[in-house]
Structure 1
Amino acid sequence: MIRKNQVAQVSALGRLVIFITGLLLASVVKSTTTQGVMQLSLQEQLDKDVPFNHSLWVGTHNSYNAREWDSAYWADPNQDISIYDQLNSGVRELTLDVGDYGTFFGENQLRLCHGICAGGEKKFRRGLESIVRWLEEGNLQSVIMLKLEINSDHYGQIADQLRGELGNYLYEANRSGGGSNSCVGLPVDSISKQDVLDAGKNVIAINTDSVCPQSGRFRSVVHLGLQYRNFYKDKFSKPSDSNACELITSDVRKQMTRLHDPSTLYGIGSGGKGPQDKEITESNVSGYLSCGLNIFEMFWFNGDGSAGHLEPDDLLWSWESTEPNNWRDNENCAVSKANGRFNDVPCLNSYHFACRDGNDWKVTFTEADWSQGEAACAYEYPGSVFDVPYNGYDNARLMKAKSAAGISVVWLAYHDQNKEGVWQRGSKKH
C-alpha cells in the first residue's frame, strides 16, 4: 500500500499508453441483470448462518478506482464499473483507500486515492453514498464487508463520516467490544452474516492496517484487521497441490483467506500484469472455491465477463449454469447432480438424501420424494439432519460422500415452495 511519502510516478509514455488503452477499452455502462448475478444472489444466502471464515465474499480490489465511476480523473483504473454497479453485479466486499487533501473552509477533505491525494479524486463520502443507495433499493438482506486502507491521520473524521453516511446500516466495532480505550478485531471465527442482519445492520468496516489509532470514535466504529484478530491470510498454496484444501481448512481455519488481483488498465497497456497472468482465472477459480477460500478481490469484474475477465457464473460453486429455471412451473426442490451442481426439479421425484452427520456427509439408502428427507436422515443416521452445503469446500465433501456411496443425484434441504424464486434452506415448507 502506498503511504503518504510514496507518490506513484507515471512517465509521459506511460500516460499515453493509459490514454490509448482507455480509448480501446471504453464502453457503455454494462447490464448487470444476468443469470449469473441472480445465481450469486441465491448462493450468498447459503452461508449466512456460518462464521465469516467459512463464507464466500466476492470482492473487488481498489473498488473506488473505476473507469465508469470517475473517468474524468482515473486514467489508470482497477475496475470498469462503479461501486454501485459492482454491488449490482454480486460484489459484497469493497476496498477503499482513504486519503486526504488540503483544508477547505476549515474542513479537511477525505478522498479516495492511493498515497497522496491531488484533490480531484472522489470524496470518501461519495463511495459511502453509493453503498447506501444500493442497500435502500431493496437489498437489505445482504451484508457488505467494507475494507479500508487508510492514508490519513484524520481517524476521527473517518469515523464520523462512516457514521454520518452509513447511519444505522453500520455494524460498529463497539458491538464486538471496541470503544474509546480498546481496538478490537472482527471475530471472523464466530460472527456470521445472519448475526449482522439480526442486529439490523448491513455493513462492517475493517481497517487492515496494524495501527490502533488514538481516536476513540474510530475505535468504536471500525474493526481492526490483520494485527488484532488474524482477519485474513493471503493465499499461500495452489489448489493444484495435493493437500492444498486441507492446508487452507486446517491451518487457517480461524481466519479468512484472500486472493486478489492488483492489475490496472495501465498494467495491461504497458505489458505489465494483466488478464494473461491474473491470480484469479476461469481455469483456477473453481479449485479455489472448492478449497474454501473466502475473499476474491478481483480486477475488472463487471458483471458480463467482457475483455476476458471473470463473470458472475465463474464464482458459482452451487447452481448449474441455467438453473433454477422452474421448468413447466413445477420445480421447487433442489438436488445435487452428478457434477455437484444444483438443479431444481419436481418435489415428488424420488432420490436419495444428503444428510449432515456432525462434521461429515452421509447419503441415505432410502429413495423417496423430497418431503421425506428429514425422516430418512434421522432413521438411517440418528442425530443427522437433512441439509444443503454452505460453501464450495462443504460441497466438495458432499461430492466425496456421494462417490463413496455410488450415488450421483441426491436431494438437498433447499426449496422455494413458499414463494417462487425465494430459495430457503431447511426441510419445512412453512
Structure 2
Amino acid sequence: MKPNNTLALLLAGAVAASGVSLEVHAAIDTDDEKVTRLDLQGQIDNFAPFSKTLWAGAHNAYASHAWSKGTYTDVNQYYSPKSLLKRGIRVMEFDIYPEGTFDSTPMLCHNSLENKAICSSFHAKLSEGLDDIKDFLKDNPDEVVLLKIESYKHNDHKNWHNKIGERLKKDIGDYLLMPSDWGYADKSCASLPVSHLTKRDILAAGKQLVAVVQTPRDHSNLCSYHSSGSYSKFWNTVFIGVDAFDASGNLQSNQPFCQNGSNECVNGDQTAHYLANNMTVIIDGATQLNPDGPSSSKTGSNVISKWANKGAQILELALVEANNTSAASGYGANEVQIEDFIWSWKSNRPNGSGDCASLESDASIVDKACSTYQYHACVDDNRNWKLTTSKDSWEMGFANCQSLGGSYAFAMPFNAYEHVQLQNTIGASSEHHWVNYYKAFDDFWLSNATEHIDWQYVKNTAVGSTNKGDAFNDIALLKRKALVGGTFNLSFVRVRSNNRVDGFQACYETKQSLSHASVGTSEMCVTYGGSGGSWGDKLTFDSSKGEHLKSLQICKDDGKYGYDTVYYLKLTSSNGSSIKGGTSSGSCTTYSASASQQLFAFHGTDNKELNSLGVYRIASSQVNGGLYATGWLDRDDPASGDNELFSSHQSVGNIGASCSTSDVAGVIARVKGNKLDSSLTGQNLVNNSSGFACWNSSNGGSSSYTTCEDYEVRYFFTKASCLP
C-alpha cells in the first residue's frame, strides 16, 4: 500500500516535536528457535508449484527503521531487507520509482501518485536493495527468494522500466531466473507460470531469485499496461503478472495477484482461487505511525487461521517483529511475530528427539525416532489425502502408501491449507501419523522425496587453527544439492600457493535436468583464503562419468605466524588425477572418501591465508551428469492433431540421426502460446517412448474441428549425440 507521503512527513514532524522516544527492546536473534522453524518451513514446499507454496513476506521491505541505506519518515518494517531475509522472510516487496523529474535512477520509496511518483536522494537506491538480496543469496545458496515489484509507467521517463531491467541484470542477473530460462523469446511479455514453476526448478536452473511485477493491482491484463514506452530490458528480467485460471478453468496470462482473499480472486474467494491453481497475496500496509498498527486479522494466530489455512500463499505483512526492537511509544505490541508465519513445526522442535517427522494429534510437526510404529500420510496426484491402514516405521511409508493403489505416495503437506486437509482426513483420531519429511544430514530436513536417501554424511574436522581468522562453512551447498538432485556437482578445485597455501577455490556446476527451465547460470565458485601466491592447475571432475573428489591431504605448520596455518594441499580425483600446492611440512592429515562416498563441500577459517580446512563427505551415488535437452520444438499445426513424435522431429533434423527412442529420458510439452503445461490442459495425450502427440480423434475432434492445442515440446536425452 502507498500512504500519502505528505501526511507521513507531517506526522513524523509531530512525533519529533513532541519528543516521543523509541523504546528499545532486544532484537530477535537469527539463531532463535522461531527463526529456525520458519527457515525449515520455507523449504518444505521445494517441489510444489508456486500455486501450492507458502511464503513469509515483508511489505515495503526497504522502508526500514534500521536500514542505513535510506531515510524513511514512516516505516513499514524495522529490520533491513537482509536482516528480514536472515530471519526467515522470503518475499521482498519493493516499490520502485525514479529519483526525480529529471533523474531516472531507480529508487525505493512508497508513493500514491503512480505515474507521477518520484522518490528523493534520501531514499535507498534499487541497487542497494538488490545488494542486500544478493548478499543473502550468496551466503545461502540453498534459498529461493521472490521479489515482488510495484512499478508504474511514468509521465517523465519513457525509458523508465528499461532502467529497472538494466539494474536487475547488472546487479543480480547471476541469481535471477529470467523469462528466457523458462523458454520465453527475447522481449516477450512473460507471465509467471505459478501452476507449474517450483523452487526446485529455480535452483536447478542455477538461480535463486524470481522477480514479478504486480501492478496495477486492478488491471485485467498487465501486458497491455506494461507496453507503452521502452520495456524490452524489463520484459527480459521480470515476469509481468502471473498465470491465473478463471472460474471456467480457462487460463488468463499476465494477471495481478488475487489480493487479500477477494480482489481479483475466482468468485471473490481465496479458497476457490487456490483450488483453481492460482496464487493469493495477503497484504498489510501498516506503518509505524499508524496508531492502530497492523490489522488484527493479519497478526497472531489469525495469519494462519484466516489466511494461510484458507489457501493464501504469500503473507506480505508489515512491522515484522517491530515490537521486539524499537517502536513508537504507545504503539502497542500487536506487530507480526516470526511465529505468526509458522504452521508446521511445534515450538522448540526439532530438538534431537529423532530424524523423522510426525504429525501429532495436536496438529503440530515434531521430530521422532524413525523406528516408532505409526500410520502414514499419503496423497495422490490431485492432492487428496489418505491414511495407511496399518502402523509401521517411518521408512515403510514409501511402500505402504504405494500399496494403497492409484497414484498415492508418501507425503508431507506443502502448506497450511494442505495441513488442514490432512487433519480433516485424520478426523477425531488421537493417533500420530508419519509424514514424508526427514533429517537428511546435519540440521537439514528434506520433504516429499521420492525415496529415502542414505546421504552417508560425514563432517571431517578442520585441520589448522580454527580459532584464527574468519570462519566459513559451506554446508548450504550440500543442502542445495539435496534440493536440486544429482545434477548439482563439484566441477573443479584449485590451489593458490607459493611456499604455503594462500587460498583455495571450489567451483560447482549445474547440469540440465528434466524441467521447463534451462540452466541459466551453470557455475558457482567459492574462494577461500587470501590473494597471495598464484593459482595452480585445476582438478576437474566430469560428472557424466561419475567423477568426484576422492581424497584431500592437508598439512599444517606454525612456522610463519607461530600458530598453525595450512601449508600444503593435495587433492585427488576418483579417476586418479591430482593437484597440489604449498610445501609438505609439519603434520599432515588425509581425508579419503570410502568406496561409496565423495568429498563435496568445505569448512574452516581464513584471513590473508588459509588458516584451517575441513571437508564434508556425502554419497558418491549422488553424482549425475545431467541430461541433454533440445530447444522448444513445434513441428506440427494442430489442424488435424498435433504430431510432435520422436520420429517426426528426427525426420526434419531436430533430433540427431544416430539417436533412438531408448535414449529419451523424458519429454515435456506445453501449449505454445500461454506456456501451460500439457498435464493441466485436460486433454488426452500421447507421452511415452514414442514421444509426444495429441490426436483430435482422442479428444472428440476431427480434421474440420480442432480440439488439440498447439503444443511445443522439449526432448531430454541421456546422450549428447541426440542433439543435432
Question: Contact 2:25–2:324 at 8 Å: present in 1 too?
Answer: no
Q: For 1:132-147, what aligned pairs fall within 5 Å after superposition?
A: 132-137=134-139, 139-147=140-148
Q: Could you say which residue in structure 1 is the equivalent of 2:464?
A: none
Q: Deviations over 1:298-333 (max 9, x none)?
A: 111138856332222221111111211013xxx111
Q: Verify the 8 A CA contact 1:176 1:184 in the aligned structure 2.
A: no
Partner residue, 1:262: 285
Segment of structure 1 superposing worse, 315-324 or 64-73: 64-73
1:259 is paired with a residue whose SS is strand
223 and 382 in structure 1: CA distance in 2 versus 1, 3 angstrom threshold: closer
* Deviation of the 1:170 alpha carbon: 0.8
Which residue number corresponds to residue 53 of structure 2?
55
Residue matched to 1:321: 347
Report matched runs for 1:147-162 at 5 Å: 147-151=148-152, 152=154, 153=157, 154-162=160-168
CA distance in 2, matches of 1:304, 1:131: 24
Query: What SS does the aligned partner of 2:281 have?
Result: strand
**Which residue number in structure 2 is paired with residue 16 of structure 1?**
14
Q: What is the TM-score normalised by the length of structure 2?
A: 0.53
Contact 2:304 2:343 survives alignment (8 Å): yes
Gaps of 5+ in 2: 111-116, 216-221, 243-251, 326-332, 455-724
Q: What is the match of residue 249 of structure 1?
A: 274
CA contact (8 A) 1:97 1:150 kept: yes
CA distance in structure 1 between the aligned counterparts of 2:446 and 2:8, rounded to whole angstroms: 51
- Bigger Cα displacement from structure 2, 176-185 vs 343-352: 176-185
2:432 to 375, 389, 409: 409
Give the counterpart of 1:65 among 60, 63, 66: 63
Q: What is the alpha-carbon distance in structure 1 between the residues aligned to residue 17 and residue 34 of structure 2? A: 32
Equivalent residue letter for 1:236: G
Q: Could you say which residue in structure 1 is the equivalent of 2:96?
A: 98
Which of 238, 251, 261 in structure 2 is aligned with 1:236? 261
Answer 1 or 2: higher relative contact order, Cα 8 Å, separation at least 6: 1
Match of 1:361 in 2: 385
AA partner of residue 421 (structure 1): D
The verdict on how the C-alpha distance between 1:72 and 1:303 changes in structure 2, with shifts beyond 3 A counting, is closer
Superimposed CA distance per residue, residues 50-84 of structure 1 (whole angstroms, 9 cap, x where no aligned partner): 11111011111111100000487212111001001
Specify every segment of 5 or more residues in structure 1 that has no aligned partner in the other structure, as ranges.
none
Aligned residue type for 1:408: E
How far off is 1:48 after superposition? 1.2
For residues 340 and 184 of structure 1, the distance between their equivalents in structure 2, rounded to whole angstroms, comes to 39
In the alignment, structure 1 residue 117 sits paired with structure 2 residue 125: no
SS in 2 for 1:169: coil
Q: Is the 8 A contact 2:402 2:408 kept in 1?
A: yes
Tell me the SS of whatever aligns to 1:326.
coil
Q: Write out aligned runs for 1:27-426 (5 A).
A: 30-70=28-68, 73-102=71-100, 108-114=104-110, 115-137=117-139, 139-151=140-152, 152=154, 153=157, 154-178=160-184, 181-209=187-215, 210=222, 211-213=225-227, 214-225=230-241, 228-236=253-261, 246-250=271-275, 253-268=276-291, 273-275=292-294, 277-287=295-305, 288-302=307-321, 307-327=333-353, 331-358=354-381, 359-381=383-405, 383-403=407-427, 406=429, 408-416=431-439, 418-425=440-447, 426=449
Matched letter for residue 235 of structure 2: R
The secondary structure found in structure 2 opposite 1:85 is helix
Please state which structure has a larger fraction of its residues in helix: 1
* One-letter code aligned to 1:308: N
Contact 1:244 1:291 (8 Å CA) reproduced = no
Indicate the percent of aligned positions where both proteins have the same amino acid: 28
Q: Secondary structure of 2:298's match?
A: coil
Contact 1:231 1:256 (C-alpha < 8 Å) held by counterparts: no
Secondary structure of the residue aligned to 1:344 is strand
In 1, Cα distance between equivalents of 2:375 and 2:210: 40
Higher strand share: 2
* 2:392 partner amino acid: A
- 1:23 CA drift (Å): 2.6
How far residue 32 of structure 1 moved from its aligned partner, in angstroms, is 2.6
| 8 Å contact kept, 2:283–2:316 | yes
Q: Is the 8 A contact 1:155 1:215 kept in 2?
A: yes
Give the paired residue count. Answer: 409
Are 1:143 and 1:196, in contact at CA under 8 Å, matched by a contact in 2?
yes
Does the Cα contact within 8 Å between 2:52 and 2:277 map onto a contact in 1?
no
Q: SS of the counterpart of 1:221?
A: coil
